[in-house]
A and B are shown apart, each in its own frame.
Chain A
Amino acid sequence: MSRVTVEDLFMDYDQAPVLERINIDVEPSTFCAIVGASGCGKSTFLRLLLSQERPSRGEILIDGEPVAEEPTPDRGIVFQRYSVFPHLTVTDNLVLASEFGRSAFLGRLFGSARRKARDDVADTLKSIGLWQARDRYPAQLSGGMQQRLAIAQALLMKPKVLLLDEPFGALDPGIRADMHEILMALWRETKMTVFMVTHDIREAFKLATRVLVFDKVRHDPDHPEAYGATITYDLPLDRNRAQVAALEAQIAETTGRTQ
């Protein structure tokens, strides 16, 4: 339930602009999908929201406060891969967050504290359908199970903003639809502000309440790196299906052309 404001954001890598003039104001509890062609800075924008990188210019505010200079628990993240810890069982992956909070030196709980922490995540395990697999290692899970675990793990700290970087990009279409339902249920329940980067425009329009399209407005054919991308479409979806469908087709065409 937090407002995210991005003010005049620029991002350069070694003088080459990647993002330029990004200005948005995202209402609390918005599900914001970010789409665009490959290499248009979608993932860079998400890394900036997470403070995994710092912008060259401009500012990102959560509830009016500038974000911390490094990743912090107020922003949860789910990556396409490598989000969960391979050396921990499913249960231990979820217990880890409370161990960090309560054991400063070892980051590990023992005895009754450990048993209690494990009991605390039992409901979460059941709700994401991983109760049967609770003692397995991530390598023994399917891709969909791993991403369910990653999402549950990201929500443990009750972040103000949830960031998703192509979270379902590596999954089969059928599993993807199941994941959409789980994600929507969690979003309705928590009312978090969500940013999701995706390649899949249909996924964006299916899930989001607002779609941001990143693209380069200026293009120099001799110097393709000369200009950065910015937000070319900013669509609050008012759920007028006909209108939305037309827009969706139009954007699919635009982003397809620039690819």
Chain B
Amino acid sequence: MSAVDQPVTKPAGGEAKTPRRRSSRRRLLNRRPSRAVSVSLALLPFALILGAYVVASSARLAENPFDPVTPSLTAMAETFWRMATEPDVRTGDLLLWTDTASSLIRLGAGVVISAAIALVMGIGIGLLPFFRSTFAPVVAAISLIPPITVLPILYITLGVGETAKIALIIFGIAPVMVRGVARAVSEIPEEQIVKAETLGASTWQIIMRVVLPQALPHLVNVTRLGLGPAWIFLVTAEAIVAESGLGYRIFLVRRYSAMDIILPYVAWITLIAYLIDLALRQFATRAFRWAYPSGRTL
């Protein structure tokens, strides 16, 4: 077995049986890292960023130990731990968990309602010509309104409570999700719809058994894509008016330049966003095995 016979499965790195000189003759695009190399390469940029921060931070702290802009990693860890475990002096809450719960409830409500709208409207627009004629133009028009510009309107009309924040998320992501699902539905081959008709299916049965099951994997995908903007709108709404929430906290402590809170909070939001995305991806590959025969998604 030479390296030429198995260019894909042969692990890169020095431990290979074939001489290094021969393996390096393969094109770069045919050379693949082994699992261990792959993980190390993935961690490398993170390590570099962290290292650069530590260097910059210690340099600044050496000059002024009370510099709030670049707190040391230990200072951030201590603050974060305190926010997670010690009740706040004023409210008695464990601030990290109160903020996380507030934000996730808003985000969850906004995203779930948006997904429901996207599914119903997307199937209607993608499948039914009368529905499409009625709603496609208005959805397209709404999706062009910059969502942040309606935030004042939402706060004025719906009050400054939870409803306006959830409404902003829906306003910001639902139109794009509707269009995503509608496109996916309209791309179901006409042959399948016609075939279902010749099997005696009604419009409703075609929706339930042909269109809906094939729309669901796309719904998960557009939801994953919608989550990014959803966080933006959540944090924006919380930054302006709120009593708790991850975005609220970041913008509150900004007044004191409390980077020891802001930076861990940003990392915490990123981690939550990553875990939600991962969960949705895992869910899609397990629930819709037919759509991911290789078991992989992007």
**B-contacting residues of A (Cβ < 8 Å)?**
50, 52, 70-73, 75-77, 79, 81-88, 96-97, 99-101, 104-108, 137, 139-140, 150, 153-154, 156-157, 159
Contacts and interface: CB of A to CB of B under 8 A. Distances in A.
A70 B202 CA distance: 12
B198 A75 contact: yes
Contact of B208 (A50, A52, A107, A156): A107
A75 to B, nearest CB: 6
B28 interface: no
The 3 tightest CB contacts between A and B, nearest first, are: A82-B189, A107-B205, A71-B197
A26 B142 CA distance: 54
A86 B214 contact: yes
Interface string B69-109: 00000000000000000000000000000000000000000
Contacts of A50: 194, 198
28 contacts: A50-B194, A50-B198, A52-B194, A72-B197, A73-B198, A73-B200, A75-B198, A79-B195, A81-B189, A82-B191, A83-B192, A85-B192, A87-B214, A87-B288, A88-B213, A88-B290, A99-B209, A100-B201, A100-B202, A105-B204, A105-B208, A106-B208, A107-B205, A137-B289, A139-B293, A140-B293, A153-B195, A157-B198
A96 B199 CA distance: 8
B210 interface: yes
B220 interface: no
Contacts of B189: 81-82
A159 B198 contact: yes
Contacts of A85: 192, 195-196, 210
A228 B108 CA distance: 58
Given A82-B189, A87-B291, A77 B194 contact: yes
Question: Which among B189, B202, B209, B289 has the highest number of chain A CB atoms within 10 Å?
Answer: B209
A82 B192 contact: yes
B205 A104 contact: yes
A209 B290 CA distance: 40
Contacts of A107: 201, 204-205, 208-209
Contact of B200 (A79, A83, A101, A150): A101
A108 B209 contact: yes
Interface string B122-134: 0000000000000
A192 B290 CA distance: 33
A108 B209 CA distance: 8
SS class of chain B's interface: helix, strand, loop or mixed? Answer: helix
B92 to A, nearest CB: 50
A100 B198 contact: no
Interface of B: 189-192, 194-202, 204-205, 208-210, 213-214, 288-291, 293
A216 to B, nearest CB: 27
Question: Which among B195, B202, B289, B293 has the highest number of chain A CB atoms within 10 Å?
Answer: B195
A63 to B, nearest CB: 18
B108 to A, nearest CB: 27
Given A71-B197, A139-B293, A79 B191 contact: yes
SS class of chain A's interface: helix, strand, loop or mixed? Answer: loop
B127 to A, nearest CB: 14
A96 B198 contact: no
B191 A100 contact: no
A88 B210 CA distance: 9
Given A96-B196, A100-B199, 4 more contacts: A71-B194, A83-B192, A137-B289, A153-B195
Contact of B290 (A52, A137, A150): A137
A139 B288 CA distance: 13
B201 A86 contact: no
Contacts of B196: 85, 96, 100
A87 B191 CA distance: 14
A101 B189 CA distance: 23
Contacts of A156: 199
Nearest to B292: A139
Contacts of B289: 137
Nearest to B200: A73
A224 B133 CA distance: 35
B21 to A, nearest CB: 42
Question: Which among A70, A99, A100, A156 has the highest number of chain B CB atoms within 10 Å?
Answer: A100
A88 B214 CA distance: 10
B200 A100 contact: yes
Nearest to B188: A82
B186 to A, nearest CB: 14
A75 B189 CA distance: 19
Question: Which among B191, B198, B209 has the highest number of chain A CB atoms within 10 Å?
Answer: B198
A83 B195 contact: yes
A105 B194 CA distance: 19
A157 B194 contact: no
